[in-house]
Chains A and B, each alone.
Chain A
Amino acid sequence: MSGGAPPGAASDRAPKAAGAAGAAGTAEAFGAAAARRGRRPPFALHAVLASLALAWAFPVAWAVYNSLRDYAYTSTHGYLSFGGFTLANYQNAWRQGGFAQGFANSLLITVPAVALALLLASSVAFVVARFSRRSNVALLGLFTAANLLPQQALLVPLYRLYNELEVPFWLSESGKLYNSYWAVIVTHVAFQTGFCAFVLSNYMKSLPAELTEAALVDGAGVVRQFWQIILPLCRPPLAALATLEFTWVYNDFFWAVAFMSQGDKYPVTSSLQNLRGPFFTDYNLLSAGSVIAALPTLIVFFVLQRQFVAGLTLGAAKG
């Protein structure tokens, strides 16, 4: 950690951060740090970070730029040109890709899968972190290791299982788990719970034990300790995990294609496949489709990022 923050930036933010966290100690910490670090503005550091950030954003910017351009224009002038702007690619991509249906399907899969995975993972993590017994090591191992297995290794048995399993008709109109959203949802939940449980249990272990002990003295049962004390404190890792899990589940199309036979149930990612011809691909159209498909994850990330950073401040002040 060489260099340092500009003095102005650090001291401007210190009161705000401390206010948000409600901890006076944080302000002193920031003050001391600013005094120690803030000798010289780190121009070199900013130059390196800014050029790296630009390089990182460039491929996406390039896709957005070309999604706004006419194919006829770019094919005569080349992509290293300026002009030919149009919104037609978006209209065509939306129609040809069948994005309206794709978005609805993605929503029906992603929201229940993420919610269930986080709920189950927090209860597992709570058990592991709260009751430190030898068997809980094995429990955590069971969950964490499950998340490390290659998806491909589960494909054939699960495919057969979902074709055999009878479920009520309100879950699936065919009466089988196969070719229903729930086949995809439960697979995601089973697969993702391990990673979430691992991250959450690490975080819960770092919470001071006095918190639950005090609640126990006050007569709160295990379930109340979980819902009212531990879960609210876990907002930072829950927000981070919700962001990651939403992204993973939304972006996946492996399980959806494996467990659903009807194209009209496929999620958004497969809409992109509709935009690729067998012999010829219109890159501008594909760029527009890519931007459309990426929008929900971008929106969720930027909305949750705020909550995430606020949560991180809380986490930093808890010591």
Chain B
Amino acid sequence: MAALPAALVVGLVWLPALTTVGLSFTNWDGFGSLGDARWVGLKNYVEVVTNYPPFAPALGHNLVWLATFFAAPTVLGVLLAVLLDRELRGGRLYQSAFFLPVVLSLALTGFIWQLIYSRDQGLLNAALGLHGARAVDWYGDPSVNLWAVLVAGGWRHAGYIMLLYLAGLKGVDPSLREAAALDGASAAQAFWHVVFPAMRPTNVVVVVVTVVESLRAFDLVWVINHGRNGLELIGALVFSNVVGEGQRIPFGAALATIMLVISLVFVVLYLPAILKEEGNT
């Protein structure tokens, strides 16, 4: 039953990924046959690190993205799920409001926040009374635009985490909480000592989703300015080297391989959690 899906995933995800890794060590031009490709060793990587100015800021921005997503929208999403898990009056309404941004694409999110962030026509500058020379170009100014984008991205991420966590909470056996309540545990104690450990699979999903979304983040900055001028992200750099104007396939492949390696670090960090889970059943 798992053979067809396995073939699909191996053929269309794993083999292409390995091919990309292989290409990153060559000088393939992307058009001719693969046989023309010459092995150039680490040349592309040396160039990425020493001779590609956007790389260092991109790496930094990806890390800021990850840290911010964990500190704010992920925590907020979990908190909202815990609050909304109970039968609150109007809970469904709150839930819908928080989930609303998640159904929008990141491209749409970029467009929608542009109405707020635009320098001349945006709501934010008008509301803050910043006109003329004092007006801030929230998407364009490199000193603020990463944070502006993180607000827009976090707006979407919080609802996503809330939904994932809410679904997990509904799956927790209610008798666990009853037992904790009978033992005199406060609601907060019951959550930390009983519900949260029982939520281990969901907790893993939440961590992984946040890491992956932060690392792959690209659509939002791509629709704003193609990931330049303060919004460099590794994902956008790969895209501009692979499909953009100055197409440099092996160079883009090297950047993609760096993304792959970072992903795999997190895969290795969290796989033991799954394996342990698996061992228990």
Chains A and B belong together in one complex: yes
* Residues of chain A whose beta carbon lies under 8 Å from any beta carbon of chain B: 1-2, 4-6, 8-10, 13, 17, 25-26, 29-30, 32-33, 36-37, 45-46, 49-50, 52-54, 56-57, 59-60, 62-63, 66, 74-75, 78-80, 120-121, 123-124, 126-128, 132, 136-137, 139-158, 160-161, 186-187, 189-191, 193-194, 197-199, 202-203, 205-206, 222, 226, 236-237, 240, 244, 247, 250-254, 258, 269, 272, 283, 286-287, 290, 293-294, 297-298, 300-302, 305, 309, 312-313, 315-317, 319
Given contacts A150-B235, A251-B107, A319-B175, 10 further A-B contacts (CB under 8 A): A56-B159, A149-B260, A150-B216, A156-B19, A206-B171, A236-B167, A253-B105, A301-B99, A301-B103, A305-B92
Q: B1 contacts A127, CB within 8 Å? A: yes
B101–chain A nearest beta-carbon distance, Å: 7
Closest to B12 in A: A190
* CB of B134 closer than 8 Å to a CB of A: no
Q: Complex: how many Å from CA A59 to CA B260?
A: 34
**In the complex, which residues of chain A have a beta carbon less than 8 angstroms from the beta carbon of B14?**
142, 146
**In the complex, which residues of chain B have a beta carbon less than 8 angstroms from the beta carbon of A127?**
1-2
Q: B107 contacts A253, CB within 8 Å? A: yes
Given contacts A29-B174, A190-B8, contact A240 B167 (CB under 8 A): yes
Given contacts A54-B97, A286-B111, contact A312 B16 (CB under 8 A): no
Interface SS, A side: helix
**In the complex, which residues of chain A have a beta carbon less than 8 angstroms from the beta carbon of B99?**
301
Q: Complex: how many Å from CA A120 to CA B2?
A: 8
Segment with Cβ contacts to A, from B44-52, B53-61, B83-91, B137-145: B83-91
Contact of B108 among A53, A283, A290 (CB under 8 A): A290
**In the complex, which residues of chain B have a beta carbon less than 8 angstroms from the beta carbon of A151?**
216
Closest CB pairs A-B (n = 3):
A251-B105, A319-B173, A1-B187
Q: A1 contacts B82, CB within 8 Å? A: yes
From residue 141 to 180 of chain B, which have CB atoms closer than 8 A to chain A?
155, 158-159, 163, 166-167, 170-178
Contact of A142 among B9, B15, B166 (CB under 8 A): B9
Q: Complex: how many Å from CA A272 to CA B114?
A: 14
Q: A186 contacts B8, CB within 8 Å? A: yes
Which of B20, B23, B82, B281 neighbours the largest number of chain A CB atoms within 10 Å of its CB?
B20
Q: Complex: how many Å from CA A298 to CA B208?
A: 26
From residue 97 to 131 of chain B, which have CB atoms closer than 8 A to chain A?
97-108, 111-116, 118, 121-123, 126-127
Q: A62 contacts B187, CB within 8 Å? A: no
Can you list 25 A-B pairs with a CB-CB distance of less than 8 A?
Answer: A5-B87, A33-B181, A52-B98, A53-B98, A56-B97, A56-B98, A59-B112, A62-B112, A120-B4, A126-B1, A137-B278, A148-B263, A150-B215, A150-B256, A153-B256, A153-B260, A154-B17, A156-B23, A158-B16, A187-B12, A236-B171, A283-B115, A305-B96, A312-B167, A317-B174
**In the complex, which residues of chain A have a beta carbon less than 8 angstroms from the beta carbon of B275?**
137
Q: Complex: how many Å from CA A252 to CA B12?
A: 18
Q: A154 contacts B12, CB within 8 Å? A: yes
